[in-house]
Amino acid sequence: MSIRLALVLALCAGLAACSGYKRPPTAFHETLTQPYRLDSSDRLRIIVFGQEDLSNTYTIDQAGYISFPLIGTVPARGKTQQELAITIAQKLRQGYLRDPDVSVEVDTYRPVFVMGEVQNAGQYTYVAGMTVQNAIATAGGFSTRAQQEDVDITRQINGEILNGRVPISDPIRPGDTIYVRERYF
């Protein structure tokens, strides 16, 4: 009887080690309640009130900058929309405009990526309020071999890349990579 119990315990420990489950770190979900941080590929609508020539849409490049008339390159990566508006206004005050009123809005968020056991893996447009399930539906739904209860997400937070397993009802952020695993049985 004790040999059988030892075998069952060893089998359970072996299966748990093979599962690869990694609980998401606390920062993984904390970022969902914090202000949105800009990054590469975000497309912004920047309005300088009373200055039609400066108001336009701008895309954050791979280095994390936007190129803005009069003031040149402006660092945008990691800033909130409000922080970027303040930065642009400060630079415009330095010899260009007396009291600029700047507004920054996200026109198009950076894409999300859906991989693994879905019908059409690829890059998809992020929509505010999107969940894992919405992203999978956008990718054509699960394949017949998909593990459908939870998925692995890779998310970049403050320059650090974090991984975690979450239920399909969890919200996602722009830039997330969603991986749908294959089920065992």
pLDDT digits (tens, 9 = 90+) for 23-55: 777 777 787 788 999 999 999 999 999 999 999
- Tokens representing 145 are 């071999």
Confidence (pLDDT) at 155: 92
* Whole-number average pLDDT of the chain: 89
Phi, psi of 146 (to 5 degrees): -75, 145
Structure tokens at 159: 């320059």
> Considering only the top CATH level, what class is 21-34+110-180?
alpha beta
Nearest to 87 by CA among 77, 98, 75, 78: 75
Question: Where in the chain is CATH 3.10.560.10?
Answer: 21-34+110-180
| Sign of the dihedral through C-alpha 103, 158, 43, 169 | negative
pLDDT of residue 16: 47
CA diameter of the chain: 86
The larger pLDDT score, comparing residue 15 to residue 50, is at 50
Nearest C-alpha neighbor of 104 from the set 128, 76, 84: 84
Residue % of the chain over a pLDDT of 90: 75
| Contacts with 184 (C-beta within 8 Å, 6 or more apart), sequence order | none
- pLDDT tens figures, 122-147: 999 999 999 999 999 999 999 999 99
Report d(CA 59, CA 66) in Å as an integer: 6
Q: What is the CATH number of domain 43-108?
A: 3.30.1950.10
Cα separations in angstroms, 75 against 64, 83, 91:
6, 11, 12
Q: State the span(s) of the chain assigned CATH 3.30.1950.10.
A: 43-108
First to last CA, the chain: 29
Segment 49-78 shows an average pLDDT of: 96
User: What are the tokens at 56?
Assistant: 């336009």
Q: Could you tell me the pLDDT band of residue 19, with boundaries at 50, 70 and 90?
A: low
* Edge-to-edge strands, sheet with 112-116: 122-124, 112-116, 177-180, 150-157, 160-167
Residue 8 has pLDDT above 80, yes or no: no
